[in-house]
Amino acid sequence: MKAVLKGLLTGLFLLPALVFAHGASRLQVEETVLINADADIVWEMVKDFDSLHKWHPAIISTDAQGGNEVGATRILTLKNDSTITETLKKFDEETKSFMYEINEMSSVGQVDIEGEMHDIPAVPVSKYKAWVTVEAEGDQTKVIWLAKFFRGYTGNHHEPKELNDETATNAIQGIFRSGLDTLKAKIEN
């Protein structure tokens, strides 16, 4: 009985350390929009890896190489002149879907974490992967934009507000929502 009690007490003392040592958790955001148009029309607007600037209001330009071939890259220039470099990882014309990941982002500032300066990336996330899917839904089309990522700071220290889970999640939700709403407006008008 003493051994069991000792084991439980030891576990209770170690639990906070283990939780703290875990670091950042993987986050997920999914946004959708229903568009009053045929799925083929919507897919034609969405599928080109080099044309995000045509339907996303935060993107000034898209500089891409490789078309819609897996391995293609694009550099997105945002309104604040920061850049995001992404790679196309999967592309499926038949299922009207693709997957991409962020490889690199410019910094929009720095923040002090425990006496060490850390960059604040253009989008406050890390290890970001996203999927875009276009599906017919009756006489409408549903566009699904899903991302899985970690917050901008994945270390074990207390993360600053600029790089925490809430900031990361809110940023991706805002990016997705503004893009999908603009896509709907452009196609329906």
Sequence-distant (6+) residues with CB within 8 A of 80 are 108, 122
- Distance CA(55)–CA(179), nearest Å, equals 7
Looking at the chain, the whole-number percentage of residues with pLDDT higher than 70 is: 88
Write the DSSP assignment of 22-62 as a string of letters: T-PPPEEEEEEEEESS-HHHHHHHH--TT-GGGT-TTEEEE
Helices 165-188 and 39-46: angle between axes, nearest 10 degrees: 120
Q: Are 47 and 39 in contact (CB under 8 A)?
A: no
Residue type, 44: E
Predicted confidence band of residue 1 (pLDDT cuts 50, 70, 90):
low
Q: Are 156 and 32 in contact (CB under 8 A)?
A: no
* Residue scoring higher pLDDT (3 or 40): 40
Domain boundaries, the chain: 24-188
pLDDT given at position 47: 97
pLDDT, one tens digit per residue, over 111-135 is 999 999 999 999 999 999 999 999 9
- Write out the two tokens for 76: 């997105």
Least confident window among 8-17, 41-50, 66-75, 80-89: 8-17
Predicted confidence band of residue 20 (pLDDT cuts 50, 70, 90):
very low
Place of tokens 């409408």: 140
Fold category of 24-188 in CATH: Alpha-D-Glucose-1,6-Bisphosphate; Chain A, domain 4 (3.30.530)
- Whether the pLDDT of residue 72 is over 60: the answer is yes
pTM listed for this prediction = 0.86
Q: Are 45 and 187 in contact (CB under 8 A)?
A: yes
Q: Are 128 and 102 in contact (CB under 8 A)?
A: yes
Give CA separation, 40 vs 28, 92, 135, 182, in Å: 27, 13, 9, 18
- Distance CA(86)–CA(120), nearest Å, equals 18
